Amino acid sequence: MKASDIFPEYVLGHPKGQKQKSELKPENKTPKARPPSSIRDKLPLYGKLPKYSGPYEVGVIDLEIPARNPRHFSNIKRDHRYALVLETVLLTIFYPAHIDSANDARVRKAVSKHNARPTWLSRPRDLTARGYGKFASLPEWPTMLFFMMTTWFTKLPAWRNVRLADHWPQADKSWHDRKKKDREPGPEPQTGPKQPIFPLILFSHGMGGNRTCYSSICGEFASHGFVVCAVEHRDGSGPRSLVNHPFLSPEKQAEALENGQYSKHGSESKNYDTVDFIFPIDDKYDTSPDHEIDHELREAQIDLRLAELDEAYYVITQMYEGKGDKFRESNLRKRGAPGASSQGLDGVNFSTFSKRLHCDNVTIVGHSFGSATAIEMLRRPEEFPYISQGIIYDIWGMVVREAKQGHQIRAPLLGINSEAFMYWDANFDVAESVIREARAADQPAWLMTVRGTVHISQSDFCILYPRIASAVMKMTMNPIRAIDVNIDASLDFLSRVLVFRDKNGMEEEQAWKRNLPKKKLLDLDPLPEVPTEHKPKEKWTAVKLQITHEGRKRLVPHIREKYWEKLRMKGEEEVWLHLAPGMDEKLHDDGGEDDDAEGVGEHNHDHSDEQNEKGKAVDCIEGPSESELLRKEQRK
């Protein structure tokens, strides 16, 4: 069956009956222009984040709100206390900001312009830096010194507490166009609201991450016209997170401690607690390809993550309903509180968010462990009916649960791998299976890989530490360009599946659609098999790429640019597309029939030694065919 028989034109990206234009292929390009604007942004060797490429400036708001239903998840304990506790939800909201936010009168009255941008390293920075040391099994003080020398003063290219944008952007313009005429509002649509209404994205970070270390991805979405709610998970998957305790009477506090609703320990004078990275007791390296997953811990963490995302969604809906001012009182990150900025919520005008968000048709986005969280959210439409599509960056497939009967993915889905993770066979099989699970429900779904990238390429770390990413992990793509490619593919996907209609059923114009990427990455021709050009030795699977004759190549000037130029001359692309709507053949098979069926995407998490021999992950698709077994052997 042809793709045009199944999917409408806006999904396919070309009119029905027309042949897909494979010539619309992207050439490798340098990153989009983002000129520096301060001495801080020009310091050599010091970590800096590029400005966002969309037409909007970006604002950020930090909130920590007590949970509506505090509780613990599972009976896992550390230091004789429940380890996984939902007490508060901590989030950073990235959103389109109004024109000339840098000179906003509220910001100038509340703080100096110098202090109006939040730091990349979460406050208190010393605790966060030492938490990274513990997470990496490194001495804490040298680790803190390393951060002081590299990113201690790095700031986000976003403005704190400014107003939500109330203007439509110009078409085909980006904020890096610094001419004054290009910063003027664009024309209002002939029909529809006078002010744009922005779609909502919920973002779930990966292992070792937090709410700000994906600021490039979140800020890029916001600069194009999305409101992004980045949640900091307190499930022990981040390096260190500070939890402020809401005020409780001594009696209530004792009761909450007894019921596992409260995690406070230490002196009574300390009104906060820290949640550090939680290592499995039996195997602290269970995230590695050749180790067995601690399913009890990881599944409990996913349950807590889902609860935190739902709490964050509630906060956004209250802002939409015009009740955001109530968070001024309940916010635990007030000025002077541990982990809070010197501004707190000064200057925030919650009324600008009222009726200005699409709180239905929400997109769930995650990276690594966050992608596994997104998959679980997509499988539970009865619990999260507001989630309508998902984007999964470099999914950590070994923690993806079994797809139970009646709980398969029934929503559009885009999967984007790094090249390093693509070579992890068992993990790639899971990525493939969840895409096929969505396709089995007649939903448009794509799976692709960004060439020359590693697992942290979709976070800020490759941008802040490009030399480490290149020398240690062998990343070959420019780290900023890697973010550009991921965002372009994501916007291409959302332009096909994210549609809002008015009361008359007519499609409403969206601000973010005025600056879509010109070249359609999702229209590339899918590959018949998985490439292996940079596949590393088995012990380095998922960690780094293999670069042949690396020492000689590093002595050649501009070798990375020459490598991409050769690919362009050969007609090759920056991405590899593996799965797309309408594909009938089994990936890697020679003309085999598509085996999409009920049960696709089910993963066997039986912990028996027989099924998890030598601790390796089992195949993610039940009942592999003879051709599948053959291609697995070929990949080895």
Q: What is the pLDDT of residue 588?
A: 46
Amino acid at the residue 237: S
How does pLDDT run across 564-577, given as a tens digit for each residue? Answer: 888 878 878 899 99
Burial class (CB in 10 A: 0-12, 13-18, 19+), 545: buried
Asked, for residue 606, whether it belongs to a domain, the answer is no
Beta bridge partners of 389: 363
* Interval 344-350 mean pLDDT: 90
CA separation for the pair 2, 574 (Å, rounded): 27
Asked, for residue 478, whether it belongs to a domain, the answer is yes
Number of domains forming the structure of the chain: 1
CA separation for the pair 282, 325 (Å, rounded): 46
Ranked by mean pLDDT, the top range of 38-47, 169-178, 446-455 is 446-455
Q: What is the pLDDT of residue 101?
A: 73
Asked, for residue 625, whether it belongs to a domain, the answer is no
Average pLDDT, the chain: 82
Beta bridge partners of 93: 61, 229
* Interval 134-149 mean pLDDT: 93
Other CB atoms within 10 Å distance of the CB of residue 500? 14
Ranked by mean pLDDT, the top range of 53-57, 214-218, 337-341 is 214-218
Asked, for residue 70, whether it belongs to a domain, the answer is yes
> CA 359, 307, 212: angle at the middle one, nearest 5?
75
Tracing tokens 């559009």 back to the chain, one arrives at 412
Q: Is the pLDDT reported for residue 173 higher than 80?
A: no
CA separation for the pair 100, 85 (Å, rounded): 41
233: tokens are 């998970």
272: tokens are 């906060």
How does pLDDT run across 407-464, given as a tens digit for each residue? Answer: 899 999 999 999 999 999 999 999 999 999 999 999 999 999 999 999 999 999 999 9
Ranked by mean pLDDT, the top range of 3-7, 27-31, 440-444, 600-604 is 440-444
Secondary structure element (H or E) that encloses residue 77, with its range: strand 77-78
CA separation for the pair 197, 185 (Å, rounded): 15
* Interval 85-99 mean pLDDT: 95
- Determine the 3-state secondary structure of 229 from DSSP: strand
Per-residue pLDDT band for 37 (boundaries 50, 70, 90) equals low
Most distant CA pair in the chain, distance: 72
Tell me which of 577 and 114 has the higher pLDDT: 577
User: Torsion angle of alpha carbons 521, 525, 530, 534, nearest 10°?
Assistant: -60
* Interval 126-154 mean pLDDT: 93
Asked, for residue 133, whether it belongs to a domain, the answer is no
Lowest-pLDDT range of 123-127, 261-265, 295-299, 466-470: 261-265
CB 140 within 8 A of CB 133: yes
High-pLDDT (> 90) share of the chain, %: 59
* Interval 196-202 mean pLDDT: 97
40: tokens are 């801080």
Asked, for residue 136, whether it belongs to a domain, the answer is no
Q: What is the pLDDT of residue 246?
A: 78
Tell me which of 615 and 34 has the higher pLDDT: 34
267: tokens are 């002196």
CA separation for the pair 414, 531 (Å, rounded): 20
Asked, for residue 429, whether it belongs to a domain, the answer is yes
Range of the domain at 515: 3-120+155-499+511-598
Per-residue pLDDT band for 554 (boundaries 50, 70, 90) equals confident
CATH value at residue 162? 3.40.50.1820
